[in-house]
Amino acid sequence: MAKWVYMFSEGDMTMRNLLGGKGANLAEMTSIGLPVPQGFTITTEACTQYYEDGRKINDEIMAQVMEGVKKMEEINGKKFGDLQNPLLVSVRSGARASMPGMMDTILNLGLNDEVVAAMIAGNPDPKFERFVYDSYRRFIQMFSDVVMEVGKKYFEQLIDQMKAEKNVKFDVELTAADLKKLAEQFKAEYKKQLGKDFPSDPVQQLKLAIEAVFRSWDNPRANVYRRDNDIPYSWGTAVNVMPMVFGNLNDESGTGVAFTRDPATGEKKLMGEFLINAQGEDVVAGVRTPMPIAQMEKEFPDAYADFIKVCDILENHYHDMQDMEFTVENKKLFMLQCRNGKRTAQAALKIACDLVDEGHKTEAEAVAMIDPRNLDTLLHPQFDAKALKAATPLGKGLGASPGAACGKVVFTAEDAEEWGARGEKVVLVRLETSPEDITGMKAAQGILTVRGGMTSHAAVVARGMGTCCVSGCGDINMDEENKKFTLAGKEFHEGDYISIDGSTGNIYEGEIPTVDASIAGEFGRIMAWADKYRRLKVRTNADTPRDAKKARELGAEGIGLCRTEHMFFEEDRIAAFREMICADTVEERVAALDKILPYQQGDFEQLYEALEGCPVVIRFLDPPLHEFVPTDEEDIKKLADAQGKSVESIKALIASLHEFNPMMGHRGCRLAVTYPEIAVMQTKAVIRAAINVQKAHPEWKIDPEIMIPLVGEVKELKYVKKFVVETADAEIAAAGIDMKYQVGTMIEIPRAALTADEIAKEADFFCFGTNDLTQMTYGFSRDDAGKFLSAYYDAKILENDPFAKLDQVGVGKLMKMAMELGKPVNPALTVGICGEHGGDPSSVEFCHKIGLDYVSCSPFRVPVARLAAAQAAIANAGK
């Protein structure tokens, strides 16, 4: 028979998976002799079983719960539902990973009219009567809210009414009689809302409460939190049942929360708050203003001294900053919770370094304790904390590229550029962005789009540039034509101030000031440690020298993906590129390409300079050509004039480029197969740039890496490669220089992974383009998946956006297959990843495990990837 219930004395901190974080730590505190009210934990497996049984607690589990109750009664010398010596308990959720605020707690369970009456009869002190009714009304309210889902507000209204009637400000000023009356009103409210009486049987109360905790694992808030924090649905939550200790007993009692170090800065000093004559959530709920923890020393010197000892013991035991909840009952201290405290990214770095210096942690342990996802926030401007607190968001999109931005609304890329040029701060608001918006995007402080997911054009480009972006805010009602939109009933026009938060996705009206991020010394220290442990190299996806330099500053060891097409959109080049597209003959096309060549070569030279001899992978032209042709009349006319062609013929050509499914259309290596002269030109540009920079810097070693995109059949690669090799060899021979170069391919079509053994014969390297690979493996359009993903989350078909977090089961299997097929054929094959996943910690760990050589990600994710790669190496050492 499975064991579903553990007394606190039966567990310890290693049993977090089974007992949840709270349960494991309550058990651990018990085992090291700290004062913890003794109860039991119902396992996370029982939660899973509850769902398997169709959301029911089966008899076997309930029987073990009742055994636990019996043992708890014996230990505490009180009895559940007893009239002489009643035991009251709290029922608390506790998942493996802490999910603060996700699931609610019920306090004072076990009370009913008879127990209340008996308690009061047993203690004539009027203060005690007040305490009993205070506990009772709290219980009815919490039980109704958490278990029966009757809104809190009904009860709060009643409290407010009572306070108004009695002309008092705080609930502590209400008398026993007031609270008695409130309890009656609460029960009546319960009956009114639910049409039945408040359950009086303590066992029934307990069972309903446990069920509510299990049920809350699946509430919408919990599901969203899990998705944002990578917590699998399958984990389930444990339930802790423990005797109440009463901070609301009298003025010799109270409750508090504290951190052993400052969770905002990491500074080593006790931080916390304390409230006299209060229970549970009162401290955080703000019913009264709590006192700073230090003041507790004056009020309760003995309990305070004990608490300081406990803080020390816990830090020395867990070797990490602790977040603790405690209660003082009649001057005596009880510990109710401890955990490794949540902290800001800044504090995380400082604490990790301090713990190493204090001898608590090794360097590897310090590296392992930083959440890489938080690092992002250190690298971008942030909203001024005070100003942000005062602001309420108008709406929410996806936090697509972190940082904070504030500026005037503009609706076109041109306006963004123009306004930016005259020194205005702007936020570009668009239905969605397209490649021609790039320069405008660069000029903007932030980008807000109505459509598109985490890998939409706006999101990918913004992350690359390190510009704040909120994408996919479907609540915006957009009128691009008239340059206005509405959000939450508020109309915005060009020039109105707006503020957006690319981390949370929040959108605010007006101007919230931002502050520049500062990189403290600890950041560098942790990164240096991380670099010692990681095996994976970290490169960056960068198209411009500016991005490349930023990435190098952040520790990138090369470029894993340079997309050449972004270079074509700048004013001076797009004309030549369009000429190339419009060419009727090979000669015309070559002539147009010859005009582009010097630009490309110049760009590549700058990149090689910026990289100072580190590797650079340059990917050849990838997007379908229609993305480059003009859309408005004026530009079409300009193009026609330049080409000496009629407007009609240009329009006919543009129409001919239309594709029903451009992502699966005439793009990638298919362009080079149709027009090999494009690949020839790009090869010349790469090799000539490399030769020039190599000559200028003999101390560097420049080995160009050319990447052919979208290969699915080895013959495609072979065909294009022939042009590349002929051209490159001729250029190198003509320069009389000794230069090696590599030709590799993206693995981004499932067929490429399936036939990787053939492709590896022709390729010097593979690079997993997991954006396209995910799109084509799932058959989900990466630009439209946002429309149905939420339905998939609700139906539990998907727990995460596969474009943000690598689908290890499917896409990952293809990657593994490509590795296993490719490596034996070509042992020198180097393999990387350059999709968005290259900067996602769990995906980086997967890449480590299957033996990739490097990950490549946008510049601002480089530190994240370095840390994640180190953590993967540390976690998998010896495996």
Q: Catalogue the active-site residues.
A: 457, 834
Binding at 441: pick from ligand ADP, Mg ion, none (beta carbon under 5-8 Å per type)? none
Distance CA 833, CA 842 (A): 14
Q: How far is the CB of 867 from Mg ion (least distance, A)?
A: 26
Stretch touching ligand ADP by CB under 6 A, among 98-106, 551-559, 687-695, 856-864: 98-106
User: Nearest to residue 599, comparing CAs of 640, 544, 559, 666?
Assistant: 544
Please identify, using beta-carbon distances, which residue of 509 and 748 lies nearer to Mg ion: 748
With CB under 5 to 8 Å by kind, the binding choice for 244 among ligand ADP, Mg ion, none is ligand ADP
Q: Binding residue per annotation — 648?
A: no
Please choose, from the candidates 437, 479, 486, the residue with its C-alpha nearest in 3D space to the C-alpha of residue 457: 437
Candidates 26-34, 101-109, 457-465, 536-544; binding stretch for ligand ADP (CB under 6 A): 101-109
- 862 in Cβ contact with 554 (< 8 Å): yes
CB of 247 to ligand ADP, least distance (A): 6
Q: Taking CB within 5 to 8 Å according to partner kind, which of ligand ADP, Mg ion, none is near residue 375?
A: none
Q: Which residues pair with 399 in a beta bridge?
A: 470
Contacting residue, 322, 337, 541, 745, with Mg ion by CB under 5 A: 337
Left if phi > 0, otherwise alpha if psi is -120 to 50, otherwise beta: which for 878?
left
| 484-487 vs 426-430, strand pairing mode | unpaired
Is residue 382 a contact residue for ligand ADP (CB under 6 A)?
A: no
CA dist 857 and 838 (Å) reads: 5
Shortest distance (Å) from residue 240 CB to ligand ADP:
7
Helix (H, G, I), strand (E, B) or coil at 445: coil
Q: Which CB sits closer to Mg ion, 605 or 748?
A: 748
Residue 771, annotated as binding a ligand: yes
d(CA 229, CA 97): 9
Classify residue 268 as exposed, middle or buried by CB count within 10 Å of its CB (0-12, 13-18, 19+).
middle
* Residue nearest to Mg ion according to CB distances in the complex: 772
Q: Which stretch binds Mg ion (CB under 5 A): 323-331, 352-360, 455-463, 608-616?
A: 323-331
- Asked if 739 and 691 count as a contact pair (C-beta separation under 8 A), the reply is yes
Burial (0-12, 13-18, 19+ Cβ within 10 Å), 465 = buried
- Choose which of 90, 135, 449, 499 interacts with ligand ADP (CB under 6 A): 90
Task: State whether residue 118 is helix, strand or coil.
Answer: helix
> Could you say which of Mg ion, ligand ADP, none residue 841 binds, taking C-beta under 5 to 8 angstroms by partner kind?
none
Least CB distance to ligand ADP at residue 562 (A): 47
Structure tokens at 77: 């010398």
Residue 839 marked as a ligand binder: no
Identify residues 770-809 at the interface with Mg ion (CB under 5 A). Answer: 772
Quick one: which segment of 49-57, 130-138, 677-685, 746-754 binds Mg ion (CB under 5 A)?
A: 746-754
**End-to-end CA separation in angstroms for the chain:** 33
Binding to Mg ion (CB under 5 A): which residues in 218-277?
A: none
* In 534-616, alpha helices (H): 545-553, 571-582, 586-611
Near Mg ion by CB under 5 A: residue from 21, 769, 832, 835:
769
Q: Does 107 engage in binding with ligand ADP (CB under 6 A)?
A: yes
How many residues line the site for ligand ADP (CB under 6 A)?
A: 17
Q: How far is the CB of 69 from Mg ion (least distance, A)?
A: 22
224 vs 797 by CB, closer to ligand ADP? 224
Q: In what order do the strands lie in the sheet with 254-259?
A: 291-292, 271-276, 254-259, 322-329, 332-340
Q: Is 619 annotated as a binding residue?
A: yes
* Closest CA relative to residue 73, chosen from 189, 246, 203, 192: 203
User: DSSP class of residue 741?
Assistant: -
Strands 106-109 and 271-276: unpaired
The token pair at 451 is 């459509």
How is the beta sheet containing 446-449 ordered, strand by strand?
Answer: 395-396, 506-509, 497-501, 404-410, 426-430, 446-449, 468-471, 398-401
Residue 563 annotated as part of some ligand binding site: yes
In the complex, minimum distance from the CB of residue 603 to Mg ion, in angstroms, rounded to a whole number: 20
Residue 11 CB, shortest distance to ligand ADP, in Å, is 17
Task: Choose, by CB under 5 A, the member of 12, 134, 501, 748 that binds Mg ion.
Answer: 748
* Residue 282 found at the interface with Mg ion (CB under 5 A): no
Among 43, 49, 64, 105, binds ligand ADP (CB under 6 A): 105
69 binds ligand ADP (CB under 6 A): no
769 is in an annotated binding site: yes
DSSP lists the bridge partners of residue 396 as 506
Near ligand ADP by CB under 6 A: residue from 62, 150, 244, 542: 244
CB of 90 to ligand ADP, least distance (A): 3
φ, ψ of residue 554 to 5 degrees: the values are -90, 5
Report 324-343 residues binding ligand ADP (CB under 6 A): 325, 327, 336-337
Q: Which stretch binds ligand ADP (CB under 6 A): 201-209, 238-246, 270-278, 519-527?
A: 238-246
Backbone φ and ψ for 329, nearest 5 degrees, come out as -115, 120
Contact 195, 189 (CB under 8 A): no
Q: Which of 67, 252, 281, 565 binds ligand ADP (CB under 6 A)?
A: 281
Instruction: Give the integer Cα–Cα distance in Å for 604 and 607.
Output: 5
d(CA 503, CA 382): 10
Burial 633-672 (b: 16+ CB within 10 A, else e): eebbeebbeebeeeeeebeebbeebeeeeeebbebbbbbb
Q: Which of 245, 614, 629, 857 binds ligand ADP (CB under 6 A)?
A: 245
107 interface partner picked from Mg ion, ligand ADP, none, CB below 5 to 8 A per type: ligand ADP
Give the CB-nearest residue to ligand ADP. 280
Q: Which of 87, 478 has the CB closer to ligand ADP?
A: 87
Please choose, out of 237-245, 596-604, 689-697, 801-809, the segment that lies near ligand ADP by the rule CB under 6 A: 237-245
543 binds Mg ion (CB under 5 A): no
Select from Mg ion, ligand ADP, none the partner in contact with residue 685, using the beta carbon and a kind-dependent cut-off of 5 to 8 Å.
Answer: none
- The residue (of 336 and 855) whose beta carbon lies closer to ligand ADP is 336
- Residue 92 or 619: the one with the smaller Cβ distance to ligand ADP is 92
Q: How far is the CB of 139 from ligand ADP (least distance, A)?
A: 12
Whichever of 325 and 801 has its CB closer to Mg ion, that residue is 325
Paired tokens of 535 = 């095996």
What is the Cα–Cα distance from 113 to 611, expressed in whole angstroms?
Answer: 76
> Cα–chain-centroid distance for residue 100?
16
Site for ligand ADP, rule CB under 6 A: 37, 90, 92, 100-101, 105, 107, 242-245, 280-281, 325, 327, 336-337
Question: What residues form the annotated binding site for substrate?
Answer: 563, 619, 748, 769-772
Cite the annotated binding site for Mg(2+) by residue number. 748, 772
**Feature table: binding site:** 563, 619, 748, 769-772
Binding site for Mg ion (CB under 5 A): 325, 337, 748, 769, 772
